[in-house]
């Protein structure tokens, strides 16, 4: 049986998150085995927060859950690709739809993404 290889990245694999409909890349986060199993069990994307060192059910505080639609694994079994329905229309804690809301233009990055909400209204 094929499953994520958590051994290479100190117990973590990167998980790329893509909108199932638009194919926009929304974010990247990390999963350990516990968060992988929670994701499969609940159908909601659950990561491992490296900064807080705890399970991180995406959307737990904001309501912006990511409903799992499809899961892919890469050729080396060490990267996961989640295709999700992003509730609330935004994945990024900054309020942008995608965490990748800045694009290289010349020598600097400039904001191009769509802002969906104001973080100060959500995280109090």
- Residue 5 is a binding residue for a copy of itself (CB under 8 A): no
What is the Cα Rg of the chain in Å? 15
Q: How far is the CB of 86 from a copy of itself (least distance, A)?
A: 15
Residue 82 CB, nearest approach to a copy of itself (Å) = 10
Residue 71 as a binder of a copy of itself (CB under 8 A): the answer is: yes
For the bound state, the minimum distance from the C-beta of residue 103 to a copy of itself, rounded and expressed in Å, comes to 5
Shortest reach from residue 101's CB to a copy of itself, in Å:
7
Residue 38 CA to residue 115 CA, distance in Å, equals 29
Q: Are 101 and 91 in contact (CB under 8 A)?
A: no
15-26: b or e for each residue (b if 16 or more CB lie within 10 Å)?
A: bbbbbbeeebeb
Tokens of 71: 């899961």
Measured CA to CA in angstroms, residue 95 lies from 60, 89, 107 at distances of 15, 9, 25
Considering only 11, 72, 89, 123, the residue that binds a copy of itself (CB under 8 A) is: 72
Residues near a copy of itself (CB under 8 A): 1-3, 14, 16, 18, 22-25, 27-28, 70-76, 79, 81, 92-94, 96, 99-104, 107-109
């Amino acid at each position: 049986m094929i499953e994520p290889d958590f051994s290479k990245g100190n117990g973590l694999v990167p998980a790329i998150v893509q909108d199932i409909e638009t194919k926009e890349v929304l974010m990247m986060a990390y999963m350990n085995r516990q968060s992988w199993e929670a994701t499969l069990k609940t159908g909601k994307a659950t990561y491992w927060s490296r900064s807080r060192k705890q399970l991180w059910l995406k959307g737990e505080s904001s309501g912006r859950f990511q409903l799992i639609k499809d899961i892919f694994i890469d050729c080396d079994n060490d990267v996961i690709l989640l295709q999700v329905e992003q509730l609330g229309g935004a994945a990024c804690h900054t309020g942008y739809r995608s965490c990748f809301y800045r694009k290289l233009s010349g020598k600097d990055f400039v904001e191009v993404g769509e802002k969906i909400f104001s973080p100060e209204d959500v995280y109090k």
